[in-house]
Amino acid sequence: MEIIEKVSQMQRTSEALRASGYLIAFVPTMGFLHEGHIELMRTGKKHADKLVVSIFVNPTQFGPNEDFNQYPRDTEGDLDKSLSAGADIVLFPPVEEMYPEGFQTEVLVKELPDHLCGLSRPGHFDGVTTVVAKLFNIVKPHIAVFGRKDYQQLAVIRRMVKDLNMDLEIIDVGTVREADGLAMSSRNKYLNSEERKSALCLKKSMEMAEKMFKQGQRDARIIKKEMESLIRSHPFTDIDYISLCDPETLEEIHTSGTEVLVALAVRVGKTRLIDNCTLGQHDNSD
């Protein structure tokens, strides 16, 4: 496994791989890898000849009051896990390699970020689309793999790729969960044992929504109200949003049709957790 820090070296390497006819799969990460990332890597490896994983905690997608500085890091562990998962190259660029002095360009998706997490994290998705556009130009993949856990991120990136005619395929992978149902996230590390228990309310509330939907409930307000009560009954929780929305436009819906995305963000203690599922589609929630 090769470790590359320089943009120009990654580009030369990718050009050479493409010229030799290799298919390149790419998994961009912020490191502190868990089983969810590994699943992305396995999927990438399955679809391509060469797997490139990037580890870059991108400062521009964190708000001024967010956890950029505390964001957990474990470079050695990450490299071990990448190797085990079959990565051929790990791209590990320093911040100044990605954002040199004078940097002033942004890639913006304009409407999709005005929903869900975008509302409480202004500028977050602009940081995501900009860094992902850069990484795509650096890695030149045929395929890029993203998790459905970050559903809005996936939707925003798909939109960017389509709108800017980026010639690559986005593959999505279902959320990987702990045995008790908590969606894997690098931020789970922040939870103390009491909060860890409460954190199950996200998955439980989605299961309740699925059950109500299966029993014929189509009024989004009623489903949301029940989810809200369930979550509030767990200590240390503070709801950021619960949304029943259109899976493509992310616009809030009031009467559920056939395709409904349930997405939610809940603070448990100081840790902001997100999760989502698609109602009526069993295989989509995990």
Q: Please give the positions annotated as active site.
A: 37
Dist. CA 249–CA 256, nearest whole Å = 14
Nearer to a second copy, 10 or 27 (CB): 10
Report, in Å, the least distance between residue 98 CB and a second copy: 8
Q: Dihedral, CA atoms, 47, 48, 51, 53, nearest 10 degrees?
A: -50
Q: How far apart are CA 71 and CA 29, in angstroms?
A: 13
Q: Which helix (H) or strand (E) holds 80?
A: helix 75-84
Which residue is listed with tokens 């896990």?
A: 81
Least distance to a second copy, CB of residue 52, Å: 14
Phi/psi of residue 147, each to 5°?
Answer: -90, 145
Q: How many CA atoms lie within 13 A of 199 on its CB side?
A: 27
Q: Which two tokens stand for residue 243?
A: 């949304």
Report the C-alpha gap between 33 and 75 in whole angstroms: 9
- In the complex, the smallest distance separating the C-beta of residue 102 from a second copy, rounded to whole angstroms, is 8
Nearest to 176 by CA among 205, 204, 150: 150
Which chain residues interact with a second copy by CB under 8 A? 7, 11, 15, 18-19, 21, 102-112, 129-130, 133-134, 137-138, 140, 159-160, 163-167
Pairing of strands 143-147, 169-173: parallel
Q: Is residue 172 within 8 Å of residue 147, measured between CB atoms?
A: yes
Residue 266 CA to residue 91 CA, distance in Å, equals 32
Report the 10 Å Cβ neighbour count for 65: 6
